[in-house]
């Protein structure tokens, strides 16, 4: 599905992709920048969601690859969890396409609120995982049925919408799998990336993707990720996280009153 995008709107989407790429490196949940931007430009919610998901695939893949060292010796466990994440991503992607568009439009404001809240509490989750790591000497436990089901559920959420999926995954992995913060974060990137990739394949097959939006967000987020890796540590994460929360709640409020 192709939508006419002028020079001004294209520039705005590209810049939003850059900002999202930087924020993903520093604070995560860059989708809370790109998705509301697309909605504000008049892009239909489902087209905005699927195009945004596909556009951020390169960032998902590079993010997972960047943590390969932290996952040495754990790929069998991560691979098992990735199966559940993939199944969830498929279910979520199919639900997005088969349910009426009005259903997504109705639920998306509440998903934005949820994503904003999760982004706001992300530092608390990280501190909790670090405290557990210090108390238990960073042990890693076998994958349990409860963790597998939790990964499956977050995969469904990721395939359907995806914003702040990583925050939920980090909490699950930190509590039920590994108290090593870096290892949990590496697994989180892999699992979220898997859900993103499989749902993107479904979206591409359905013909609902706007490729100009994908190109603008993909190139912008890649550039933003490159910049974020170099300047991100100089930027105050609390400020960026505050921006995410404000954007998410403002977009939700606008959608609820229109």
Q: Where are the beta strands (DSSP E) in the chain?
A: none
**Residue 198, pLDDT score:** 95
- End-to-end Cα spacing for the chain: 24
Q: Are 87 and 194 in contact (CB under 8 A)?
A: no
Q: What is the pLDDT of residue 86?
A: 97
Q: How far is CA 4 from CA 11, 55, 145, in A?
A: 13, 17, 47
Q: State the pLDDT at residue 59.
A: 77
Tokens of 182: 């870096």
| Token pair for 76 | 């069998």
- Residue 77 — φ and ψ, nearest 5°? -65, -45
Q: Are 80 and 190 in contact (CB under 8 A)?
A: no
* CA-atom Rg of the chain in angstroms: 17
Beta bridge partners of 178: 140
In this prediction, residue 168 carries a pLDDT of 83
- Residue 72 belongs to what H/E stretch? none
**Strand, helix or coil for residue 140:** strand
Q: Are 212 and 10 in contact (CB under 8 A)?
A: yes
CA–CA distance, 201 with 89 (Å, rounded to integer): 10
Question: Average pLDDT of each block of 10 consecutive residues along the chain (258 residues)?
Answer: 79 93 72 90 92 86 77 91 97 94 89 83 72 64 92 94 81 82 83 92 92 94 78 66 81 80
């Amino acid at each position: 599905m192709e939508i006419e995008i002028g020079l001004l709107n294209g520039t705005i989407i590209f810049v939003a992709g850059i900002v999202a790429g930087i924020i993903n490196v520093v604070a995560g949940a860059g989708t809370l920048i790109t998705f509301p931007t697309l909605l504000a430009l008049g892009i239909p919610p489902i087209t905005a969601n699927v195009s945004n998901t596909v556009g951020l695939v390169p960032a998902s893949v590079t993010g997972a690859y960047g943590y390969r060292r932290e996952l040495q010796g754990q790929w069998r466990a991560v691979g098992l969890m990735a199966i559940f994440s993939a199944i969830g991503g498929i279910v979520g992607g199919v639900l997005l396409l088969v349910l009426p568009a009005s259903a997504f439009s109705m639920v998306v404001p509440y998903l934005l609120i949820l994503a904003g809240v999760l982004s706001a509490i992300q530092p608390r989750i990280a501190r909790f995982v670090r405290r557990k790591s210090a108390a238990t000497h960073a042990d890693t436990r076998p994958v349990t049925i409860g963790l597998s089901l939790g990964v499956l559920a977050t995969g469904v959420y990721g395939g359907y919408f995806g914003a702040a999926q990583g925050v939920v995954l980090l909490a699950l992995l930190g509590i039920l799998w590994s108290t090593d913060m870096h290892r949990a974060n590496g697994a989180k990137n892999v699992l979220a990336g898997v859900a993103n990739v499989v749902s993107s394949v479904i979206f591409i097959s359905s013909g609902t993707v706007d490729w100009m939006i994908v190109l603008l967000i993909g190139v912008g987020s890649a550039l933003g990720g490159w910049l974020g890796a170099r300047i991100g540590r100089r930027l105050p994460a609390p400020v960026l996280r505050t921006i995410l929360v404000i954007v998410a709640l403002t977009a939700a409020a606008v959608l609820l009153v229109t």
